[in-house]
Structures are given as structure tokens and as C-alpha cells.
Structure 1
Amino acid sequence: MKEYKVVVLGSGGVGKSALTVQFVTGTFIEKYDPTIEDFYRKEIEVDSSPSVLEILDTAGTEQFASMRDLYIKNGQGFHPGLQPGQPAVVSAVHTHPVLQDIRPMRDQIVRVKRFEKVPLILVGNKVDLESEREVAGSDGRALAQEWGCPFIETSAKSKTMVDELFAEIVRQMNYSTLPEKQEQCCTACVIQ
């Protein structure tokens, strides 16, 4: 069974932990409790191949920003988010300033990994809060296109596209073209 290390990055309060816990346990965390660092493990099947995801849910506050280099160095995939290869970035779609936080996170991933085409998925979380939305889906898609990565809108609360997100992270890591000298160990997901 193939193992993948996923790092979930994003600003504080964008739903990184809620997405991760929803994926791993099938439950939604109602109360916001800032994370310092949590580790999860889950077996899944993607495209008929069994896989194990080791997911590092990181702190979103600047207080722990110095730890990001270590997370990124040890990750294979990254899941960056909007609400807030191999990185994932998560952000929230209901707060526009989060977009300003995402570029530096991706730049940091590229700097630490020393490779421009790291597996990365840009995530727009909290789509269930449509009436409070400040970030247009077209903005997320445009940024993802600029970076050459997928963009997925999710909701941890309604479990919208949560399983699909983590399956896509595995696909991105499988199709990654990291240089042979580069040891593949982690992926990140950025959530806004």
C-alpha cells in the first residue's frame, strides 16, 4: 500500500482542521479551536489503488509560521486553502483578505521544495456560507490556473467535495514530476 504525506496549510480560521477531521472521521467540528499541530492517518482507495494518507494539520496563525518550513520539507503534497507536487492550501471563500495570505504560502513551498511544479491543490472552503461569500470562484480558478494546479471548492460542514479533495491530492502526487534528486516525502494542501 502506497503512503502519502499531506500537509494542510492555510490562514487561521479557514477550516483546515474541519476539512481534515470531516475526511478522517466523518464529523464536523462546530467549535473553532486553533490548532498548533495535529496528525491523522487514513486508508483510502483512489482509482482502484489502496493508499494511506498521513495528514499533518498545521497552525494557521503567524505565531507558528516559522514551523512551516519543516512541515513543507517533510511533506509530499500540499493542500492550501482559500478561507483561510505536493502542497495543499486551504482558504475560506467568505473572507477576501485570505487571498493575500496564499501567495506567500505557495512561494514558501516552492522555496523549500526547490521546485516550481510541486503537487498542490488550491481549496476554497466554506462554500456553505454562500451569502457571506467575498471570494469569487473565478478568482480561485484564475489563481489555480496561474499556478498550474487544481482548484476545488469545499464545505467541511456539508461534506461537499471533501472526499474528492483528498482523492485528488493522491492523484496529484501520483502524477507529480518532481526531479529525481528530490526526495518525495510530503504533499501540501492550502485551504483558504
Structure 2
Amino acid sequence: MRDLYIKNGQGFVVVYSITSHHTFQDIKNMKEQILRVKNADRVPVLLVGNKCDLEHQREVTVAEMEALAQVWGCPCMEASAKNRCNVNEMFAEIVREMNVLPP
């Protein structure tokens, strides 16, 4: 089912929790799956570290996020679904990426 969503998707917001290094490792597999299903070298992707309101529980540093975004060649940001920090900005950014890298 996930492959069908990926195949039909035009842009992808890849989200991990800043409070879980495990989720940060998992997204690396997700990015590979997106590239495989889309049969492409590059697709519009935004890397997002969620739960930035839980700074005291942080396991993934901003530097780690930025390094991965640089490897992927995509923008990145932190957000909080709980307090709506950067939620609108996140969607605006992926739309910008979709305009830069059309399908």
C-alpha cells in the first residue's frame, strides 16, 4: 500500500522525532524506498524533525539533521505538531521544492 502512495506522490515530507534516534535511522530506509518506487535519482523531499517542543528529550541534534539534508540535497527544518510550530511553513516549503523539481 505504501508503494502505491509513493508512486502517486509528487513531493514527500519525511518526518522523524527529535526525541528518538531510532526514527532518524528509519527515515534513511524510507528515502531509499521513495527513490526506488519513483525510479528516480531525485524527488522533492523535505526532512522534518518533529517534537521540537521537547528539547529536553532531544536525541537527534540539529547538526545531524542538517548533515543528512545535505547528503540528500533537500531542505530541512524542525517542527512541532503539538504547538503548531513550523507546520504551515513545512507545507509551504515542500510546495516550493515540488516547483523546483517537477515530476
- 1:103 matches 2:28: yes
1:68 corresponds in structure 2 to 2
1:155 corresponds in structure 2 to 80
Structure 1 or 2: more strand by fraction: 1
Aligned length: 103
Normalised TM-score (structure 1): 0.52
Larger radius of gyration: 1
Identify which of 48, 67, 81 aligns with 1:142: 67
Normalised TM-score (structure 2): 0.96
Q: What secondary structure, in the 3-state scheme, does the structure 1 residue paired with 2:21 have?
A: coil
Distance 1:171 1:146 in 2: 19
| Structure 1 residue ranges without an equivalent (≥5) | 1-66, 81-89, 178-183, 185-192
Structure 1 or 2: more helix by fraction: 2
Q: CA deviation at 1:159?
A: 1.2
| Structure 2 residue ranges without an equivalent (≥5) | none
Letter in 2 for 1:93: I
Deviations 1:51-105 (A, max 9, x none): xxxxxxxxxxxxxxxx21111001101000xxxxxxxxx1110111112201110
- 1:1-192 alignment, distance < 5 Å: 67-80=1-14, 90-177=15-102, 184=103
Letter in 2 for 1:79: V
Letter in 1 for 2:38: K
Q: CA deviation at 1:117?
A: 1.1
Q: Which runs of 4+ in 1 moved over 6 A?
A: none
Q: What secondary structure, in the 3-state scheme, does the structure 2 residue paired with 1:134 have?
A: coil
